[in-house]
Structure 1
Amino acid sequence: MPKGTDFNAYFRESMKDPEARRLYREVLDEELSWLLSYLREERGLSQKEVAERLGVSRGRVSQLETSAGLSMTLESLARYAQALGLSLRLEFADERGEVLARFSLAADEPVAETTDSSWENAGVSPKPASGKASWASWAA
């Protein structure tokens, strides 16, 4: 990359190449899978213990930690985080890095099976949406 090149512009241009997109996706998949096993180990848990908490086989936990990557559903990711006793926080940011919205799911909160929205406007005092304990906000 030539000196003085804007990285964001360079990145956007390079992502026009299908092979570059495929390779980048592969790296992201590997990073997320690695992160799951890293967090489990940091919490001092075995795959078997996490499997018991999730109600799945140890093999399924191994699969999540080695190949799930970006294809993992948000629900699976939330359940995995909760099995580790962790909260899940999601941020949506624009191209400048400004956070436009946040979503948080507490470690002890059941993963709801409702279609009610838990996103809220940050300009208003934060409060749980329709009886949920989840906190989400729109950045002002």
Structure 2
Amino acid sequence: MGRHMDFRHYFQESLKDPESARLYREVLDEELSWLLSYLRELKGLSQKEVAERLGVSRSRVSQMETSAGLSMTLEGLARYAQALGLSLRLEFTDEEGEVLARFDLGADEPLAAGAAKGWEPVAETWTTLTQKRKQAFEEIA
């Protein structure tokens, strides 16, 4: 019988090579940039219209759609999504697919309120972690 390696293990091993990791990051950058322009076009908006909604120049929107990729902040992604009239949900899951933490911002929710709301604790471990952090902070103060 042949030796079998699951894809996850293979992928983790391949990313140990710096060149493979660099190439993978480039692909992710390109995919995110492509996704931004795809969503804008799907909503029937021009770069100029999105720029006006964001309060930036059209060239900045072009830059976001062509080269920003993974260097965009969560706030930048949230603002872009809202400029398109979309909501943004970001989840962190473990190997079994259990959601550990979630950031959810509605299309019409003020960004400041969403940022203040922060991450939604989903797993029990999150509650334990935040309690430990709070206790440590109180001990310092």
TM range (shorter): 0.7 to 0.9
Separation in structure 1 between the aligned mates of residue 106 and residue 113 of structure 2, nearest angstrom: 15
TM-score (norm 2): 0.80
| Structure 1 residues without counterparts, runs of 5 or longer | 120-135
Identity of aligned residues (%): 76
The CA RMSD over aligned residues, in Å, is 2.0
1:114–1:57 Cα change, 3 Å? same
Which of 117, 122, 126 aligns to 1:138? It is: 122
Aligned AA (1:49): E
- Please give the per-residue CA displacement for 1:81-128, whole angstroms capped at 9, x wherever unaligned: 000000000000112332212110011111117974533xxxxxxxxx
**Counterparts of residues 1-140 of structure 1 (less than 5 Å):** 4-112=4-112, 116-119=116-119, 136-139=120-123
1:62-87: CA deviation from partner (whole Å, max 9, x where unpaired): 00000010000111110000000000
Q: Which is richer in helix?
A: 2
Please give the alpha-carbon distance, in whole angstroms, between the structure 2 residues aligned to 1:35 and 1:11: 23
Q: Tell me which amino acid in the other structure corresponds to 1:107.
A: A
- What is the letter of the counterpart of residue 64 of structure 1? M
Distance 1:3 1:44, change over 3 A: farther
Structure 2: which 5+ runs fail to align? 125-141
Contact 2:104 2:114 in 1 (8 A): no
Larger radius of gyration: 2
SS at match of 1:103: strand
Q: TM-score, normalised by structure 1?
A: 0.80
Post-superposition offset of 1:6:
0.6
Point out the more displaced range, 52-61 or 95-104: 95-104
Cα distance change, pair 12–76 in 1 and its aligned pair in 2 (3 A): same
Moved more, 108-117 or 64-73: 108-117
Aligned length: 123
Change (3 A) 1:40 1:3: farther
**CA–CA separation in structure 1 for the residues paired with 2:25 and 2:115:** 29
- C-alpha spacing 1:75/1:5, structure 2 compared with 1 (3 Å): same
Would you identify which runs of 4 or more consecutive aligned residues in structure 1 move more than 4 Å? 113-117
